[in-house]
Structure 1
Amino acid sequence: MLRRKTARLVMGAAIAVTALWSTTAMAETVRMWTFLNPEGTAPREVALAQIVKDFEAANPDIDVVVEPQVWDQMTPKFLAAHGSGSAPDVIWVVTDFLGDAIQSGSLADLNELLVNNWPEEKKADFKDAYWDLTSVDGKQYGIFTSRNYISLVYRPDLLAEAGINPEDLKTWDDLRAAAEKLTVKDASGNVTRYGFSAAYSEQQADPHPMIPHILASGEPLFHPDGKANFASDAGVKGLEFYTQMIKDGLSPSQAATWTVDDLFEQFASDRIAMIQGSAVRISTLQSKLGKDKVSMSLWPGVEAGKHSPAVMAGWSVGIWSGSKSQEAAAKFVDFMLADPGDKLWTEVGGQIPGMKSTLTELKEFISQPGNEYLSVAATGAAEAGWLSPIEFSVGGYRQALNRATQQVLVEGKDIKAALTEAEEHFNRQNGR
């Protein structure tokens, strides 16, 4: 009897293992490249992990494999992988190289794979400047996520201590005056906290804070033919504004070689009161400092009452045109970026919603103390934002401007000459 029972148990276990093996073998794999690691602890990473888990639970026939990449190298690496036929099924394309990706033929048309199956109200829910940027000649090459608005990030508690109301920072002169009040020195005259800083390394470079100065003047950052327009009068004044703050001790000299990660580390360590910062990073900073100690405002203007345009960036999620799993990839993209993904990105990841309906449905969440930056960024994107063009490649413009800053600060180069050299370098790099 015992022998028969044992045999039945072994046979049952074998059947279960066979069934499990069969299910796993039949599952279709969707590879995705992103800069986020779903095993990480940052809010966006936690959100992505939850989205993947929920999707696989709802779609047991599809396995999503996330392959984290270095963010500023990922899109060029994808373009190379497209050429060799080894690209991932789903790719997050950075704004600067979106035009290159579309023109290379590496991205599939999401209208055919996904959007044409949506009801009209769902299409309207997504349509905005980001949507229009990825729509070319009747084809939809991506849907944006991790939408970014890059402007002034500050410590509300430190500004309050200094008697500064963030709403009073209406002009660039106001910003400098606030930086002066927020800069603290010890008894020996050493700075223990700087008023303002950005990061000027060529590695992991954010758009230079001089760009809002150029855009506010009415000048374009690029001419219609794609050539750089960095060395305009507004560009010279903008770069002078930030380099002079370093020379005057209101910003740290080390910022010349700081990456964005270095800048955020210093901000989180109470070493800087105001920084140029991105909306997508605020949730991570708040997890370290507390929700009441990190906030965001629009850039000041040349004149009071008119905010300077801020650089809007983000990641256009697309599907590789050479993928053998486009249908499964489209199903995952829909889940990740629409319902329920958009709400998870907002509530868990602390990101600007991609759908208008999410803004409405999560109105109470967004209005909670510490979450106001979401509405600030959304308002800025609608009223005072700028997206880099995709008609021509703009890859390398961030690095060119940061290199010019380093030349002024480290080599003592004339600002106009440094920006003219940056223009020439960018134009040459892009064959213009």
Structure 2
Amino acid sequence: MSHRTFHRHLLTTLSLMLIGTLLTACGSGSGSADGVTRLTMWTFLDPKGDDPRGAALAKIVEGFNAANPKVRVEVTGINFAKIDGEVIRAAATGGGPDIVNVYSVQLAQHVAAGSVQPITTRVQPWLDKQGEEYVFPIDNVTYDKEIMALPWESRVWLLWYRKDILSEYGFEPPTTLAELSSVAAGISEKSGGKVAGIGIGMSEQGLGADFMEKFQPLTAHYGGTLFDSTGRAVFDDAAGQKALSYIKSLGENGALPRSSLTMSADDVVNSVKAGTVAMAIEGSYRVASTRAGEGVGENLVTAPVPGDPAGETTPTAVAGQTLAMGANTEHPDDVWRFMEYYLSASSQEIFAGAGVMPVLKSAYAKAPATGSVPAEELGRWRDYLLKDGRASRYPEDYSELSTEAVKAAQKVVFEGGDVASALQQVAKNYNANRN
């Protein structure tokens, strides 16, 4: 057992000793005196919040409950950075939710911890029936030939820019990575630092995800990848060094402010909404809620992330939120019934209306022609995914790796650290601690 694995197991054991009783009490749903089976669903979405996705979730759950009077799904919203640990700890004590919303990037740690169970026998006949209608690469959620979750949305990472801010300072939207750097630097300079040209969350908040969501596609653009076919880290090669060097150049020319050190993805998005960041590379799933901000609306424009030379685009990661079946549920048939409803055409159309990229082809055609994310734009996102999407499998300790990577990047970008040696050290440490 590696040092990292031992340390993780030790922390988990201590946590279980402290909170086991509480989490067991939050266990899987069960029948009640009124004959209604109550299923618990844990998700990062808040059905009562102002995120359009949360409102869509609430509508779908309400529809399922109305159509299934003997089953009632009850939703608990948990912060996205905490939900995985909460589910894993609860499942280890014999409890946990019946239905788990898992981000595909984090699924491997649930599989390793045994907090979710295989659903192949239920999902495969459904997939066979869907045929080419279902567009998410199911291999991304398949482990040892078992399907462990069912993705209900797709997402891509896009160039966001505030056209009102670019216009105010006399810039056109960038069409290459070089232009992205120069336009961002120009905005920072002309605004006297009041507006950052580009936002990248360089803090360890959110497990360093915002940094990695830029580093990975840039590495792919330069011809590299994070891991080789054996799972060994290889991002310290020439491609990874070019990717980090590009991000470093944004700090050197003033495009990326030092305040990025305290920013997470949420902070970047909120800054775009507030008009204190002009451009960002953020997820499609956040566009609708950002456009709902005062004064934003159509001023927020999305496009594929440009590459170099002109005419090329930077690849985008392919990921998505999924539904999984809790390891300790006593009602697998009812859980699957809910999953089917969640993935139905009508539910997918509801999510499309909330600016979410559906996993069913037909839902794109039936998305609203108007709204915060009109059907035409949703279709452009789909085309970017199909043309330049890069599907990846992530290891169970990916969150640990991303945290270490962003720590190294902080020193490189803002303290003048050496790109090659920083990446080589992170990759060396990661590979040395692999099981």
- Is the 1:228–1:423 Cα contact (8 Å) retained in structure 2? yes
* Correspondence for 2:98: 89
**Letter of the aligned partner of 1:263 in structure 2?**
V
- Is the 2:104–2:141 Cα contact (8 Å) retained in structure 1? no
Which string of whole-angstrom CA distances, capped at 9 and with x for unpartnered residues, describes residues 146-183 of structure 1? 422123111123334455444xx332112112213433
User: 2: CA distance between counterparts of 1:112 and 1:176?
Assistant: 49
Query: Taking structure 1 as reference, are residues 77 and 279 closer, same or farther at Cα in structure 2, changes over 3 Å only?
Result: same
1:273 equivalent in alignment to 2:281: no
Query: Taking structure 1 as reference, are residues 120 and 310 closer, same or farther at Cα in structure 2, changes over 3 Å only?
Result: closer
Which string of whole-angstrom CA distances, capped at 9 and with x for unpartnered residues, describes residues 223-258 of structure 1? 222222222222222212222222322221110221
* Correspondence for 2:34: 25
Gaps of 5+ in 1: 1-21
SS in 1 for 2:110: helix
SS in 1 for 2:45: coil
Which string of whole-angstrom CA distances, capped at 9 and with x for unpartnered residues, describes residues 187-230 of structure 1? xxx31212112111111122242322211222221122222222
In the TM superposition, residue 285 of structure 1 has moved relative to its aligned partner by: 0.3
User: 1: CA distance between counterparts of 2:326 and 2:32?
Assistant: 26
Of 390, 393, 401, which residue of structure 2 is paired with 1:389? Answer: 393
User: 2: CA distance between counterparts of 1:33 and 1:392?
Assistant: 20
User: 2: CA distance between counterparts of 1:121 and 1:305?
Assistant: 39
SS in 1 for 2:319: strand
* Correspondence for 1:134: 141
* Correspondence for 2:405: 401
* Correspondence for 2:13: none
User: 2: CA distance between counterparts of 1:411 and 1:391?
Assistant: 30
- Is the 2:156–2:283 Cα contact (8 Å) retained in structure 1? yes
* Correspondence for 1:179: 184
**Letter of the aligned partner of 1:216 in structure 2?**
H
1:234 equivalent in alignment to 2:239: yes
* Correspondence for 1:374: 378
Of 344, 347, 352, which residue of structure 2 is paired with 1:341? Answer: 347
Shifted more, 90-99 versus 133-142: the winner is 133-142
Of 74, 78, 81, which residue of structure 1 is paired with 2:87? Answer: 78
Query: Taking structure 1 as reference, are residues 398 and 150 closer, same or farther at Cα in structure 2, changes over 3 Å only?
Result: farther
- Is the 1:291–1:369 Cα contact (8 Å) retained in structure 2? no
In the TM superposition, residue 119 of structure 1 has moved relative to its aligned partner by: 8.2
Query: Taking structure 1 as reference, are residues 119 and 185 closer, same or farther at Cα in structure 2, changes over 3 Å only?
Result: closer
**Letter of the aligned partner of 1:431 in structure 2?**
R
1:431 equivalent in alignment to 2:434: yes
When normalised by structure 2's length, the TM-score is: 0.84
1:415 equivalent in alignment to 2:411: no
* Correspondence for 2:302: 296
* Correspondence for 1:13: none
Shifted more, 26-35 versus 102-111: the winner is 102-111
**Letter of the aligned partner of 1:88 in structure 2?**
P
Matches of residues 185-264 of structure 1 in structure 2 within 5 Å?
A: 185=190, 190-204=192-206, 205-206=209-210, 207-264=212-269
**Letter of the aligned partner of 1:40 in structure 2?**
G
* Correspondence for 2:165: 158
- Is the 2:214–2:281 Cα contact (8 Å) retained in structure 1? yes
User: 1: CA distance between counterparts of 2:219 and 2:73?
Assistant: 43
1:286 equivalent in alignment to 2:286: no
In the TM superposition, residue 45 of structure 1 has moved relative to its aligned partner by: 0.9
- Is the 1:279–1:373 Cα contact (8 Å) retained in structure 2? no
User: 2: CA distance between counterparts of 1:397 and 1:157?
Assistant: 37
- Is the 1:214–1:238 Cα contact (8 Å) retained in structure 2? yes
Which string of whole-angstrom CA distances, capped at 9 and with x for unpartnered residues, describes residues 4-37 of structure 1? xxxxxxxxxxxxxxxxxx9972110111111011
In the TM superposition, residue 411 of structure 1 has moved relative to its aligned partner by: 4.2
In the TM superposition, residue 371 of structure 1 has moved relative to its aligned partner by: 5.6
Which string of whole-angstrom CA distances, capped at 9 and with x for unpartnered residues, describes residues 289-321 of structure 1? 443011211111232222121222222211123
Q: Percent identity, please.
A: 24
**Letter of the aligned partner of 1:179 in structure 2?**
A
SS in 2 for 1:67: strand
RMSD over aligned Cα, in angstroms?
2.6
SS in 2 for 1:63: strand
Query: Taking structure 1 as reference, are residues 371 and 400 closer, same or farther at Cα in structure 2, changes over 3 Å only?
Result: farther
Of 306, 319, 328, which residue of structure 2 is paired with 1:322? Answer: 328
User: 1: CA distance between counterparts of 2:130 and 2:243?
Assistant: 41
Shifted more, 380-389 versus 120-129: the winner is 120-129
Query: Taking structure 1 as reference, are residues 424 and 273 closer, same or farther at Cα in structure 2, changes over 3 Å only?
Result: same
Shifted more, 105-114 versus 350-359: the winner is 105-114
Larger radius of gyration: 1
- Is the 1:95–1:388 Cα contact (8 Å) retained in structure 2? no
User: 2: CA distance between counterparts of 1:114 and 1:193?
Assistant: 48
Gaps of 5+ in 2: 1-30
